[in-house]
Amino acid sequence: MSTPNTYIDLFAGCGGLSLGLHLSGWKGLFAIEKNKDAFSTLEHNLLNKKKHFEWPGWLPQTNHDINAILKSHSEELSRLKDQVDLVVGGPPCQGFSSAGKRYEQDERNKLIDSYIKFIRIVQPKMIFFENVRGFTQQFDRNKVKGRIYSQYVTMALKRKVIDCVGYKVHGQLINFAEYGVPQKRTRFILVGIRRDIAASVNPELFFNRLKNDREKFLVSKGLSITTSLNEAISDLLYSHGQTESPDSRGFKAGVYGVAGSGYQKYLRAQNSCEIPDSHRFPNHKELTIKRFQHILLNAPKNKTLSEDLKKAYGIKKHTVIPLAGNMPASTITTLPDDYLHYSEPRIFTVREYARIQSFKDWYEFKGKYTTGGKMRTQEVPRYSQIGNAIPPLFGEQVGRVLSQMID
């Protein structure tokens, strides 16, 4: 039996990319994630349930800040030089995202330099980097244009420095909806190959193979290249029945309906629970339900409500998008009340969010469901964990192609 390829996951979140790599046969060494809520989800599923990581003895099995690791464990990281096949992950995207304020001085943007420093110390054979579309766009400093961070990272990884030969890299934008994920989610993907081994493998090959192999991969799983929202979550409707929520007093949870698509069957495989994890319905007020019913009947789908409609419905939120069931969802964010269910007058449950992001149903989420106020800067509740994740279905395809290239 051959030894599986190994990787380290940086800024791992709740484990979306790690789950995809696990399903494609990779072996994790360890994962670095600062937030304890997101790490508890990753730990529960991929360390405790699946034993996916061969966690080193020198690193406590808990949440970590990457800068603390670089400072306290530089010697241990140096010993990993040329011993790791792949480092994956991208720094937090909030400072780059067009869905937010796009502030160039956001402290989280500085984590790009921490990422580059980690790569130069460990020097994996390959790199997989992901970030939002805004990562490729120039910041506006009024008269002076700011930095385009995708170019900055590309040049930094290419550069030869002391004891590091640098990488051949190639990056481009990819829409995950073209890879079976029921969501229009475009992200910047960059793949790098260390220059001393890049003579036989070009990083552009990754993107060609990924696109050419997708249909064969998806068909083998009983899936289609394009998956609609209805095909993703129609077995999780409120109308299928409710029961008491296992983890939230005073709330109802949904039960499974009949799996009506290949996508539903694929994500429900290996899950024997009758009540889907984190499928807690919101306790909407009667007035809210009536308002949502009217919106579903009269407002355009997959478009945010106009100012006139928001005024008519008494809605003060900036973004409210009623989604359509016959096509992939819009890019989901960390705010669940940005969207309305396509056929029921409510927002989505955490499990429906997870389905839209292609998490397997056996993958359980930990921590609070939601949070607010000042705690939004400290806590990462379940909706936010999922909204920040890389879809595992896309990650599985990434893992298969990278395995081919490294072999």
Catalogue the active-site residues: 93
* Sign for the pseudo-dihedral over CA of 404, 125, 11, 18: positive
Output the DSSP codes for 188-235.
EEEEEEETTTTTS--THHHHHHHHHHHHHHHHHTT--SS--HHHHHGG
DSSP helix/strand/coil, 153:
helix
CA 82 to each of CA 59, 77, 294: distance values in angstroms, whole numbers, following the listed order:
19, 11, 60
Q: If DSSP codes are grouped into helix, strand and coil, which group holds residue 89?
A: coil
CA-CA distance, 105 to 142, in Å (whole number)? 14
Coil, strand or helix at 18: helix
Report helix, strand and coil shares of the chain as percent, to nearest 5.
Answer: 40, 15, 45
DSSP string across 269-338:
TT---SS-TT-BPP---HHHHHHHHHHHHHSPTTSPPPHHHHHHHT---S--EEPPTTSPBPPP-S-GGG
70: how many CB neighbours lie within 10 A of its CB?
15
Minimal CA–CA distance to 389: which of 22, 42, 7? 42
Identify the helix (H) or strand (E) that includes residue 31.
strand 27-32
